[in-house]
Amino acid sequence: MDLKRLRYFVAVAEEAHFGRAASRLGISQPPLSEHIQALEAELGCKLLFRTTRSVSLTAEGEALLEHARAILRDVDKCREVIHAARSKDSLTLTLGLLHAHTYTFLPALLREYFAQDPRRRVHLVEYTTTEQVGRLLEGTIDIGLVREPIHHASLRTRRLFSERYAVAVPEDWGLARKGKVSVRDFDGRSMIGYPSHDVRRSTQSLFRDFFHRHDVRPLDYFEVRTMHASLALVAAGRGFAPVPRSQSMLPLAGVRYCEFREQAPDLAVGLAWREDKPMPAIDSFIDVCDRHFARWSTVRAGR
């Protein structure tokens, strides 16, 4: 079927007038009428009711109009699809991340990445670190922002930064008024933690050793799946929760963030990608991350 005839038919149907449709298409009226007649002959049915003043659709014309619009939309998309495929390797990136990254360091990082080339596109998808490993291996994402450590023969990793744990406490605890707290302040209080893809790096594992070194015995321990669930319990007064230091950038009603006077455990954030999947976009993103976090670490160290 001639796509031009479908375009002509849609124009006539939408304008409900041959003269207006011809003007919209930039052709004269006689050839427009001829194309519509040819389309009707090809389909073996009447598509339009014509009068001297207007045009209306037959039942067959109504059915064709919806289908013709869908066909023409798909045809018009061809150029966009080809352009996206041509530019994917150099300009488009699918980035895996943890939810907490979206309101801590990610906005500034992406601002710097886009500033180098506004044509760049990044698709953001949220997965846990364990899920990201699977998505990287199957090719669903190109590169991931993950919690370290990751050990897999098919993946390369690069550490971006590490940071100490701080602690979230209910705002009605007296501790919330302190600039810094001692780990001993949590003796006899309930801790709320969350797991890790590496059991050795769960908050329970890390802080069990931290508490033991300072002879601290929490009253109880609750484990929830995510940091955000733990913060909800903190806000409800159920206990305290260790959180990455950058978490304190997100204010939350009922919660105050404090730093430890003692040297608290730390956690590391890094990049992971497939070694056998080279892409210019991955290389560009890694370069921006290296520069961005080199400056970021310098600023944080100077605080």
What domains can you pick out in the chain, each with its CATH number? Answer: 3-86 (1.10.10.10), 92-160+268-301 (3.40.190.10), 163-266 (3.40.190.10)
274 phi/psi in degrees, rounded to 5: -80, 130
Give me the mean pLDDT over the 286-291 stretch: 95
Q: How big, in percent rounded to 5, are the helix, strand and coil portions of the chain? A: 50, 25, 25
Rounded-to-integer distance, Cα 281 and Cα 237, Å: 45
pLDDT tens digits, 211-259? 999 999 999 999 888 888 999 999 999 999 999 988 888 889 999 999 9
Position with higher pLDDT, 9 vs 201 = 9
pLDDT at residue 96, as a whole number: 96
Q: Which helix (H) or strand (E) holds 34?
A: helix 29-43
pLDDT at residue 302, as a whole number: 47
- Say if residue 135's pLDDT is above 90: yes
- Say if residue 86's pLDDT is above 70: no
Q: Which helix (H) or strand (E) holds 217?
A: none
Rounded-to-integer distance, Cα 132 and Cα 126, Å: 9
Distance (Å) of CA 277 to CA 5, 139, 147, 280: 45, 9, 21, 10
pLDDT at residue 203, as a whole number: 84
Compute the C-alpha angle 191/194/199, nearest 5°: 115
- Say if residue 174's pLDDT is above 70: yes
pLDDT at residue 286, as a whole number: 95
Of the candidates 128, 130, 211, the one whose C-alpha atom is nearest the C-alpha of residue 167 is 211
Q: Which long-range contacts (CB under 8 A, 24 or more apart) does 223-229 make?
A: 223/192, 223/193, 223/194, 223/195, 224/192, 224/193, 224/194, 225/194, 225/195, 226/99, 226/194, 227/100, 227/194, 228/99, 229/194
Rounded-to-integer distance, Cα 179 and Cα 165, Å: 15
Rounded-to-integer distance, Cα 136 and Cα 276, Å: 11
At 297, is the pLDDT very low, low, confident or very high (cuts 50, 70, 90)?
low
